[in-house]
Copies of this chain bind each other. A is one copy, B any other.
Amino acid sequence: MPKPAPTQQLIDGLLKGDRLALARAISRVEDDAAEAARIVRGVFAQTGRAHLIGVTGAPGTGKSTLVSALAERYRAQGLTVGVLAVDPTSPFSGGALLGDRVRMTGHSGDAGVFIRSMATRRGTGGLARASADAMLLLDAGGFDRVIVETVGAGQAEIEIASVADTVVVVEAPGLGDEVQAIKAGLLEIADIFAVNKADRKGAGRTVAALEMMLETGGAAAQVRSIFHHGQRMAMEAAASETDAEERWPIPVLETVAVSGGGVDQLRDALERHWAWLEGSGARSAREGRRLGHMLQTLVQAEVLARMERTLPPGLRSDLVEGMMRRQIDPYSAAAEMVKKLSG
């Protein structure tokens, strides 16, 4: 087996546009938080240039196909595109799915497009951390457009896409009641709606429903802001952004990703939003929110790891045993544990 490349070599390589070095660096970032820290430190000064695009939506809306079609349009313009497909429950990581997708989408052999799937098994915290790191690596790797695609059915997954510069929410008609329901969490984060599979029955109804919701609920939803979990930093950033954001009229577009229908219009809307972000000052507000979110994720992980290290041995299992005998309830047990941590 060849010796693994030193970290600095990977950093130098990815900054020079070496795709293999980039792929390896993303794998390290995914596998190992300590390596992630070294690599991100080495590339961070070269980030902040790409347009970061989040694409999310329920399973079955055709997000992946739409992202591939979009990447193609960007390539036709001469822009380079990095794609990060995040699926926390997928058994595939990097290898198989990546290969299939590159072949499927005809991007194989084109160094101007890089598609990477990410499926860490380390729970939601680890996935958020690794995804944010990988986006920085793609940005530092020199891609003009960096797309992160997540399944918009879990709160944690939606959040990964929601910190992008521009958020595209993909809907589709006829997916059955459960899927079709326009999710409030998705409505709040969308800068652009794409009703994909627009050649199917019911597409007009989906478009109309979205437009109605935007008219009636849009303003209120924006004030409620992207983060509902009380992260002060994010709230502050969102508040400072609200004035500017009111001027962006959220478009509802129809696309047929498989045939390429409407994809030019989607690309145009993305470019318009990018220009609007720059012009309105919202771009730096969003970057602040994104970096604040990243800081929060990293600090929380460290605080929780420290908690684990300082926990008196046996305390947890004693408390669980007490709960099983109904001698202590979960809230009192938690208070006990927190007291021991402070002392």
Contacts and interface: CB of A to CB of B under 8 A. Distances in A.
| Best-surrounded residue of A37, A157, A320 (most CB of chain B within 10 A) | A320
Interface string A326-337: 100111111101
A158 interface: yes
Prevailing SS type, chain A contact patch: helix
Given A300-B304, A303-B338, A308-B232, A154 B88 contact: yes
A65 to B, nearest CB: 10
Interface size class of A (residues with CB under 8 A): 35 or more
A341 interface: yes
B236 A317 contact: yes
A343 to B, nearest CB: 13
A185 interface: yes
Nearest to A221: B91
Interface of A: 36-37, 40-41, 44-45, 47-48, 58-60, 63-64, 88-91, 121-127, 132, 151-158, 175-176, 178-179, 181, 183-186, 227-230, 232-233, 236, 284, 287-288, 291-292, 294-295, 298-300, 302-304, 306-308, 316-317, 319-321, 323-324, 326, 329-335, 337-338, 341
